Structure 1
């Protein structure tokens, strides 16, 4: 039963991760005519939410609080790493993968956006995914 639950959660987290990545890349790079602030912070927030979903995918039995705190720590450390400058890292940061994975400029506002997105993702996970999806799976068995 526990194995089925983990497998089922992994599938859900994989789907949510994929949708989050598509939404984040679309918000950041597609010419949708969105206001700059939405483009900037939606991309950042969805990037941080993606960290949460990837960790949930890797450890589906981990509790939501642990996943959120770990995700927030990773996002915050990544943001703080933008204060560290060496040539090879700065060169990577201006490439497309570098922009997507690490970003270019440090911003405290990004950290706030990260934590808000991670908390929203964790609440969605706890209230919708784990409660609703897990109970549906348990009822079917």
Structure 2
């Protein structure tokens, strides 16, 4: 029978945590990519979508992408940090649209610049961002609970 010292068990626990963090990062990366595809789709197919979806979902999905991107970077932090961080980021981008000078408007005129920086300040965008981030946060909380439940169930399985 082989015994493990505390230091070797800490090393094993650290390996498990690192493996979990990479899996979580991969899941958040997939979420970011899905949000990008859905957001671009909401713009590209806006004429085929219901008016409410075409008008509001693009900005909400952009905010979802920001939330999941922060979660991907800060996978070991509390969910509330990504919630407030993404809210701050999205609001800062929106308020930056009040700043209109030729050099930044030139950047906004490009496709990527327009997608990232937007074109002009709209108060309704703040509501769209808030809804998108809160929906992402709620979904993330639900997924976190499922992961914890699955881990507990796996812990109860007998070793082979």
TM-score by length of 1: 0.91
User: In the TM superposition, what are the counterparts of 1:86-125 in structure 2 within 5 Å?
Assistant: 86-125=101-140
Q: Is the 8 A contact 1:13 1:53 kept in 2?
A: yes
Could you tell which deviates more after superposition, 47-56 or 24-33? 24-33
Shift of 1:82: 0.3
2:12 matched to 1:6?
Answer: no
Q: Which has the larger radius of gyration?
A: 2
Residue 82 (structure 1) aligns with:
97
| Structure 2: gaps of 5 or more residues | 1-15, 156-160
Shift of 1:134: 4.6
1:32 & 1:26 partners in 2: Cα distance?
Answer: 11
2:62 matched to 1:47?
Answer: yes
TM-score by length of 2: 0.81
Query: Which runs of structure 1 show a deviation greater than 4 angstroms over 4 or more consecutive aligned residues?
Result: 137-141
2:138 & 2:40 partners in 1: Cα distance?
Answer: 23
Q: How many residues align?
A: 140
CA-based RMSD: 1.7
2:18 & 2:82 partners in 1: Cα distance?
Answer: 20
